[in-house]
Amino acid sequence: MGKLVNQIAKFQDYEEFADLHWSGSFEDYLELVRKNPTVTRTSFQRVYDMVLSYGSETYQDNKKKLTHYNFFDDPRNDGNDAIFGLDIPLMRLVNVLKSAALGYGTEKRVILLHGPVGSSKSTIARLLKRGLEEYSRGPDGALYTYEWHLPESLLHVTGGEEIFHCPMNEEPLRLIPPEWRARAFGDLGLNQGEKPLHIKGDLNPACRLIFRELMAYYKGDWSKVIDHVRIKRLVLSEKDRVGIGTFQPKDEKNQDSTELTGDINYKKIALFGSDSDPRAFNFDGEFNIANRGIIEFIEILKLDVAFLYDLLGATQEHKIKPKKFPQTDIDELIIGHTNEAEYRKLLNNEFMEALRDRTIKVDIPYITRLKEELKIYKKDFTERRVTGKHIAPHTLEMAAMWAVLTRLEAPKKHDLTMLQKLKLYDGKTLPGFTQDNVKELRKETLREGMDGISPRYVQDKISNALVSQRSETSINPFLVLNELESGLKQNSMITNVELRKQCIGLLAVVKQEYEEIVKNEVQRAISADEQAIKRLASNYIDNVKAYTQKEKVKNPYTGQDEEPDERLMRSIESKIDIPESRKDDFRREIMNYIGALAVDGKSFSYDTNERLHRALEQKLFEDQKDTIKLTSLVSNAIDKETQEKIEVVKERMIRDFGYNEESATDVLNYVASIFARGDSRD
């Protein structure tokens, strides 16, 4: 073996390979089952246990206890398919799986993921399929099937094949005749404990024929028949079409129900003499190969009516009807997904009533929390993926804000703007609003999250902005918001003129919010002189202390005792909307706060009181903006001293807020133009 080949070969895990290719006798398998009965779980039980195996966390959201299932974070795939902000719908889905695992009836239903385009329906199905694949490779998710090993004298039974694999990868305990199972499991000690062993169903037609032929050959001696059975580990794989099936409807002319239940193998008819011999049949339809696992129906409601009959039997009775063969038992989770338009057709189609009755609908809406929506775009547009381009702060946040706003319903009972509602949903606090109010806001909605802009649309427009010639080294919120607006005219999902106007109006709301955010950041960068803030804070506290205790204040320059500086105090308090009538209360509140700290042996610092800190920053900004002459940025004439001060501010923007040189300059110019407009209005 060559040196380079050896380098690659060292990555192989021989122990894992041996585990995944384990094989043994039926006796060995009975011992396995005795030690670990979970190897015989149904598909629903296995999927439910797989989800739980990743752990979960409970938390409170507006006084409601919620559970977050870590499985949907996609930890095994570095979060590439992580689901954000949908804990409530995912809780409903897991509860359906739990009920099915316990045999309470939902195992006889199609799980239908229903929601608008781009709401993660396909991703959830993909996660379940891939998760089950990985689970089947581990010790906790191990499952087994069987194959027939026949000597030369018995090859006629299989048509010349020495090894005949069970075509539907069935549970080996089905080889025990149904009428023996209860007594056999009892005698073997397999029915002890809380969960007695229940193996339902019979052998598939091909294995049933081989079993019957061998029983006749051995004159009914079951033990000799079982000597020809070899048990092997079953590893589920969508790519290998083992235990994971996916079906996507085609146009009506090309749809054929044999794609679901298998078809005749015409080459073998000559060998076996009949097209109704199960050995001359390919059990390779999606229902066949998905046995023991999951079958996903993409756009399930676009299925032709001919397919629905197969689907109805597969759900309610867990049986399928291959051509020219009796009903055949299956064990698989059936999950489908559909969009709003197709679901409305289902509701209006009386011929689909039977399917509706056998369906459990789980709504998968769009995200309505800003911080969760933002995670989608941060995942897709990381520094690692976006090379050579700087994404300015708040760019992704503003895109996410607009997307969420388009999905919210206007508040009915409260005097709230859409933006205020978005902030309440996002966990922000507003005066006069409690958690109960937020809970009420959610309850009063009818279809919130089921309409609006898809994350895919936003992702596409961010991508457009990144490759646009208008962005040399960075993109900013305005570039992305302009892309979002221009794309609305061509968006096939928004044909309603009023809806388009509403979306454009919400873009204006987002731009206004961005203006407030960057004004605040520039203010903080200008007033980030810590020594200046400390001096201002000390001066304010001295005056407040003198005011509340009815004392004089010593002027640090003249040394004279003076009355407290009312103008200074009000100039700070007005920045946080403390009215004249409330000034005494606020000042006493500050002094009580300082006193409480002193009792605990702590000293007061201006940044321990968030409201006061914000007021001091804004006051300092007002004092310094004229000395920096920010508005001079919009003119060509900037003196050296002003330029130096602006460079200091720019450095703070880069250091403290994540801007680069270009985006910091853009923001300063933009905020300067805002103040210039304000000055001209004055």
Tell me: pLDDT of 631 over 60. Answer: no
pLDDT of residue 630: 59
Give the mean model confidence (pLDDT) for residues 103-112. Answer: 93
Of the candidate ranges 99-113, 299-313, 362-376, the one whose mean pLDDT is the lowest = 299-313
User: What span, in angstroms and rounded, lies between the C-alpha atoms of 86 and 376?
Assistant: 12
pLDDT of residue 682: 40
Q: For each of the domains in the chain, give its residue range(s) and CATH number, in order of start.
A: 42-137 (no CATH), 144-363 (3.40.50), 370-511 (no CATH), 527-619 (no CATH)
- Pairwise CA distance, residues 335 & 297, whole Å: 6
Q: Per the structure block, which two tokens stand in for 483?
A: 């892309």
The Cα 170–Cα 167 span in angstroms is 8
672, 675, 676, 681: CA torsion to nearest 10: 170
More confident residue, 36 or 412: 36
DSSP state for residue 172 in the 8-state scheme: G
| Dist. CA 579–CA 201, nearest whole Å | 77
Residue of 638, 620, 634, 618 lying closest to 678 (CA atoms): 634
What does 271-333 look like in DSSP terms, one character per residue? HHS-TT-GGGEE--SHHHHTTTSEEEEETGGGS-HHHHHHHHHHHHTSEE--TTS--EE---E
State pLDDT tens for residues 587-620: 888 888 888 888 878 787 877 777 787 788 788 8
> Do residues 338 and 114 lie in contact, with contact meaning Cβ atoms separated by under 8 Å?
yes
How far apart, in whole angstroms, are the C-alpha atoms of residue 615 and residue 523? 11
Pick from 166, 137, 161: nearest CA to 151 = 161
Q: Which of 237, 326, 325 is nearest to 289 (CA)?
A: 237
Question: Distance between CA atoms of 68 and 470, rounded to whole angstroms?
Answer: 42
* Percent of the chain clearing pLDDT 90 (strictly above): 50
DSSP output for 513-541: HHHHHHHHHHHHHHT--HHHHHHHHHHHH
> How do residues 337-369 score in pLDDT, each as one tens digit?
998 878 887 777 776 788 888 899 999 999 999
Q: What's the 3-state SS for 112-127?
A: EEECCCCCCHHHHHHH
Q: Which residue has the higher pLDDT, 387 or 243?
A: 243
Query: Using an 8 Å Cβ cutoff, are 445 and 409 in contact?
Result: yes
What is this structure's pTM?
0.85
Alpha-helical runs (H) found in 14-166: 14-20, 26-35, 43-52, 87-101, 121-137
Q: Where are the beta strands (DSSP E) in 126-261?
A: 143-149, 163-165, 229-234, 244-247
Tokens representing 381 are: 């547009």
In residues, how long is the chain? 682
Interatomic CA distance for residues 199 and 182, integer angstroms = 9
Farthest CA pair distance, the chain: 121
> How much is the mean pLDDT over the chain?
88
Specify burial of residue 501 (Cβ count, 10 A radius: 0-12, 13-18, 19+). Answer: exposed
Distance CA 396, CA 409 (A): 22
Residue 680: which pLDDT band, with cuts at 50, 70 and 90?
A: very low
Q: At CA 523, angle to CA 521 and CA 525, rounded to 5?
A: 70
Give the per-residue pLDDT at 308: 77
* pLDDT of 681: 41
- d(Cα 159, Cα 548) in Å, to the nearest integer? 103
399, 461 contact by CB (below 8 A): yes
> 579 CB contacts (<8 Å, ≥6 apart)?
none
Mean pLDDT of 471-486: 88
Confidence label for 73 from pLDDT (cuts 50, 70 and 90): very high
- Whole-angstrom CA distances from 359 to 114, 332, 568 are 11, 15, 69
Residue 329's DSSP bridge partners are 319
Q: Cα torsion at 664, 669, 673, 675 (round to 10°)?
A: 60
User: Do 116 and 341 touch, CB atoms closer than 8 A?
Assistant: no
Give the best-scoring range by mean pLDDT among 12-16, 50-54, 323-327. 50-54
Q: What is the pLDDT of residue 637?
A: 53
Three-state DSSP string of 610-674: HHHHHHHHHHHHHHHHHHHCHHHHHCCCCCHHHHHHHHHHHHHHHHHHCCCHHHHHHHHHHHHHH
Given a cut of 60, is residue 627 above it in pLDDT? no
663-677, pLDDT tens digit by residue? Answer: 888 888 888 888 766
